[in-house]
Amino acid sequence: MNRMPWLSASMMALFLVTAALARAGDNGGPCPPDSVRVGTTCVDKYEASVWQIAPTKKSLIKKVQAGKASPDELEKGGAVLIGCELVPDAQANYPENFPATGQWTPVAASDPPSPGVYAASVAGVRPTTCTSWFRASQACRLAGKRLVRNDEWQDAAAGTPDATDDGATTCNTSNPNTISPDLVLAGSRAGCRSNWGAFDMIGNAQEWVADWGALAPECNAAWPAELGNDLACVGALAQPNIPSALVRGGAFLEGEGSGVFNVRGDFDPSFADVAIGFRCAR
């Protein structure tokens, strides 16, 4: 007996699709291919790279949002990698309609409205740094994701080997093969992988997480020394009466200071630096 005679075939199809989506992501279903399941959350495998994509490239945008775009598809589709201008292999600047405050304006003809900027989790490209918390958060949202939370980051990092940087396979904490340490390509250090399957949680780019707190010039004061891998913050960066956004993991130039317990709270959300990137989640 049909108990819902009012439900059309199209409405039923929509209901079934919605139900399937509800079972994915935070509800225990399979994660998109660009992420790994950590409990009930899909955490991106790789540090984010940010791409500017024309609104006419609708199929490419949908691939990014579904976690299925490859670097080759992005480049062939005309996507432009955004990041730091003053680095080796300099990247493009963020467009003017996507300021550091995250107060973006839509690109003409974008439907739905978008600034044309999207975060992706792909291996083999330089992670995007020189990015404020506001830009990172919005780039994740535009890609159908969000910034990973502090507790989720901590869980996802479990099992990441805390070994001396060998310049090839272990985590990038002080690259010995260059005169000046620098970022490596996302996922290129095969041994820098957590038990869950997330790469580069230690070193490479420090990573913004979603959580804010009181700005703390001595942000690691609450971490007992026996935990290890903690790093004193640089008080000179602190500004009074401004909240901080937490940064996790340590960077490519911090040596033993990088680690799964590295947490900093001395950066305001508008701060950007060559060493600070981010990671998204669903």
Task: Render pLDDT for 97-140 as a digit per residue (tens, 0 to 9).
Answer: 999 999 999 999 999 999 999 999 999 999 999 999 999 999 99
Q: What's phi and psi for 39, nearest 5 deg?
A: 65, -120
Measured distance CA(249)–CA(55) in Å, rounded: 34
- Report DSSP letters for 209-226, one per residue: EEEEEE--TTTTTTS-GG
The answer, yes or no, to whether residue 38 has pLDDT greater than 70, is yes
Range 242-270 average pLDDT: 88
pLDDT digits (tens, 9 = 90+) for 132-149: 999 999 999 999 999 999
pTM value > 0.75? yes
Q: Tell me, what's the pLDDT at 15?
A: 36
Percent share of the chain, pLDDT over 90: 66
Q: Tell me, what's the pLDDT at 5?
A: 40
Sheet holding 276-278, edge to edge: 263-264, 243-248, 206-214, 276-278
Q: What's phi and psi for 153, nearest 5 deg?
A: -60, -45
Q: Which two tokens stand for residue 143?
A: 């890609």
Q: Tell me, what's the pLDDT at 177?
A: 60
**Sign for the pseudo-dihedral over CA of 70, 190, 136, 275:** negative
Give the other-Cβ count within 10 Å of 226's Cβ: 6
Contact 79/92 with Cβ under 8 angstroms? no
Residue 232, CB-side half-sphere exposure with 13 Å CA sphere: 3
Q: Tell me, what's the pLDDT at 227?
A: 46
The answer, yes or no, to whether residue 57 has pLDDT greater than 70, is yes
Give the other-Cβ count within 10 Å of 177's Cβ: 11
Distance of CA 262 to the CA centre of its chain: 17
Range 232-243 average pLDDT: 53
Residue type at 182?
Answer: D
Listed in sequence order, the DSSP H helices in 143-269 are 150-156
Q: Which two tokens stand for residue 179?
A: 């005169």
Q: Tell me, what's the pLDDT at 241?
A: 64
Give the other-Cβ count within 10 Å of 246's Cβ: 22
